[in-house]
């Protein structure tokens, strides 16, 4: 069965068509600038040429229509008719406390996702627009919602409650939810396979280090803690997000700079992280690492600050699980930067970790990068959220 995986943002839409039996990707692409001038579709069948089409996309329905046309195109398409798409898997950012697992989309599920809009006002409405557009164009095709938050719903109360009046949890469900769950789940399970050990018997820390970044503690196959919180702003220092700060900074800045709450949130989400820390030099780790290698102060500050925060979370989660068997690196930076992995792991000697530098400098595959005699294993596992979504969709609709 072919599964169409859709990741719908407010003005963009990424897609992949995956053969669920062989797990091969058949085609992929994205729509950019939906509802904005200069929108374009990028489409690439596996093994074929990448095509770029600049065309009007006033809304998401038109964008999905164009994706379906590309997939069924006589010349460059990969399926003859839409009947060859057996199901659609939608990435949904926030499932609140309602969804601890993926689910077949029904009218009630759509309503329940809508009820989580307050918790993810930028993401969930866009995800819902993607669902509605697909349902309009493929009314008989089953659809599945796969939530970024679901994997983290196993966290114990002591890990998910904040130290604020309990009534705010009761009234508004303010608590830690965590994100990147599909990736943390995929990577931790894959790590157990690579190590040839039962997932249910391991203590694993997953470091998902991309533009958005989070760490999770996975004990016996269940998430017990994660660094992102009510929103993706908490935790690590990210590309442009601040991660953990003293909340009193908000009041302090509001007074000193005469800023509104909205303006401060914009700064914390879009102008902070390594971008802010580097004095606006760059949010991209490739630039920062080059600057760091040249000894430029702005690069050193950002990269060291980033790595230090990861080290602290690893320590916290090793403590939370009373030990750790494996640490996994994934996502853009985690998969591709031996330097950042070195910077982090050189401070983990107390866990009996040493890196095999030859392994650490390999690319693009599942790897154990710690030396054979390391007490705690260190792995690089390329994440594949689309495949994980396709698997979960297939499991529910087959
Ligand atoms: P997201 O999905 O959150 O947008 P990604 O997982 O794609 O992010 O990661 C993007 C980050 O990975 C960027 O900061 C980018 O610079 C970094 N990255 C990608 N390739 C490399 C590399 N070869 N070396 C260092 N950093 C890299």
Please choose from 186, 208, 210, 381 the residue to mutate so as to test ligand 1's pocket, defined by most ligand atoms within 8 A of CB: 210
Q: How far apart are CA 360 and CA 335, in angstroms?
A: 10
| Helix intervals (H) in 219-271 | 248-257, 261-270
Please choose from 14, 179, 182, 211 the residue to mutate so as to test ligand 1's pocket, defined by most ligand atoms within 8 A of CB: 211
- From ligand 1's centre to the CA of 284, what distance in Å? 7
Residue nearest to atom 4 of ligand 1 (CA): 211
Ligand 1 atom nearest 287 alpha carbon? 16
What is the model's pLDDT at position 10? 82
Please choose from 285, 288, 334, 335 the residue to mutate so as to test ligand 1's pocket, defined by most ligand atoms within 8 A of CB: 285
Residue 374 φ then ψ, to 5°:
-65, 135
- Give pLDDT tens digits for 270-289: 999 999 999 999 999 999 99
- The continuous run of DSSP H or E covering 333 comes out as helix 331-336
What is the model's pLDDT at position 114? 96
- From ligand 1's centre to the CA of 287, what distance in Å? 11
Ligand 1 atom nearest 331 alpha carbon? 6
What is the model's pLDDT at position 233? 96
Q: How far apart are CA 133 and CA 393, in angstroms?
A: 18
Q: Is 382 helix (H, G, I), strand (E, B) or coil?
A: coil
Residue nearest to atom 19 of ligand 1 (CA): 332
Regions of the chain with pLDDT less than 70: none
- From ligand 1's centre to the CA of 286, what distance in Å? 8
- Give pLDDT tens digits for 23-60: 999 999 999 999 999 999 999 999 999 999 999 999 99
pTM (2 decimals)? 0.95
Q: Report the DSSP beta bridge partners of residue 24.
A: 19
Residue nearest to atom 22 of ligand 1 (CA): 336
Q: Which residues are catalytic?
A: 148
| Helix intervals (H) in 51-138 | 60-71, 107-114, 124-137
What is the model's pLDDT at position 122? 83
- From ligand 1's centre to the CA of 336, what distance in Å? 7
- From ligand 1's centre to the CA of 251, what distance in Å? 32
What is the model's pLDDT at position 373? 96
Q: Is 264 in contact with 233 (CB distance < 8 Å)?
A: no
Residue 128 φ then ψ, to 5°:
-65, -35
Report the sign of the C-alpha dihedral through residues 27, 133, 266, 36, in that order.
positive
What is the model's pLDDT at position 9? 85
* Residues contacting ligand 1 via CB (< 6 Å): 210-212, 239, 284-286, 289, 331-333, 336-337
What is the model's pLDDT at position 366? 97
């Amino acid at each position: 069965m072919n599964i169409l995986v859709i990741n719908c943002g407010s003005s963009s839409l990424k897609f992949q068509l995956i053969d669920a039996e062989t797990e091969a990707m058949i085609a992929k692409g994205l729509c950019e600038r939906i509802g904005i001038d200069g929108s374009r579709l990028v489409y690439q069948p596996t093994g074929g040429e990448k095509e770029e089409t600049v065309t009007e996309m006033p809304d998401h329905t038109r964008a999905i229509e164009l994706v379906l046309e590309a997939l069924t195109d006589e010349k460059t398409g990969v399926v003859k008719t839409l009947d060859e798409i057996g199901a659609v898997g939608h990435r949904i950012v926030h499932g609140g406390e309602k969804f601890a697992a993926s689910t077949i989309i029904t009218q009630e599920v759509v309503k329940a996702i809508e009820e989580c809009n307050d918790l993810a006002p930028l993401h969930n409405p866009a995800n819902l627009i993607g669902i509605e557009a697909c349902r309009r164009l493929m009314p008989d095709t089953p659809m599945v919602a796969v939530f970024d938050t679901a994997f983290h719903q196993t966290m114990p109360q002591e890990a998910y409650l904040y130290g604020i009046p309990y009534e705010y949890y009761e009234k508004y469900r303010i608590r830690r939810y965590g994100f990147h769950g599909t990736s943390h789940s995929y990577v931790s399970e894959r790590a157990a396979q690579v190590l040839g050990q039962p997932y249910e018997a391991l203590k694993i820390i997953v470091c998902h280090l991309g533009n958005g970044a989070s760490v999770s503690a996975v004990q016996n196959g269940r998430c017990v803690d994660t660094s992102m919180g009510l929103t993706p702003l908490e935790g690590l220092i990210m590309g442009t997000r601040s991660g953990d700060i003293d909340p009193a900074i908000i009041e302090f800045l509001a007074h000193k700079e005469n800023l509104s709450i909205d303006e401060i949130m914009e700064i914390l989400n879009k102008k902070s992280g390594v971008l802010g820390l580097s004095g606006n030099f760059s949010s991209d780790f490739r630039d920062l690492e080059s600057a760091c290698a040249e000894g430029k102060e702005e690069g050193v500050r950002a990269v060291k600050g980033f790595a230090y925060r990861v080290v602290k979370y690893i320590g916290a989660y090793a403590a939370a699980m009373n030990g750790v068997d494996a640490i996994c690196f994934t996502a853009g930076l985690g998969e591709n930067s031996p330097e950042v992995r070195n910077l982090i792991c050189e401070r983990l000697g107390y866990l009996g970790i040493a890196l095999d530098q030859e392994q650490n400098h390999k690319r693009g595959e599942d790897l154990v990068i710690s030396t054979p005699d390391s007490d705690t294993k260190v792995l690089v596992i390329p994440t594949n959220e689309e495949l994980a979504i396709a698997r979960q969709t297939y499991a529910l609709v087959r």
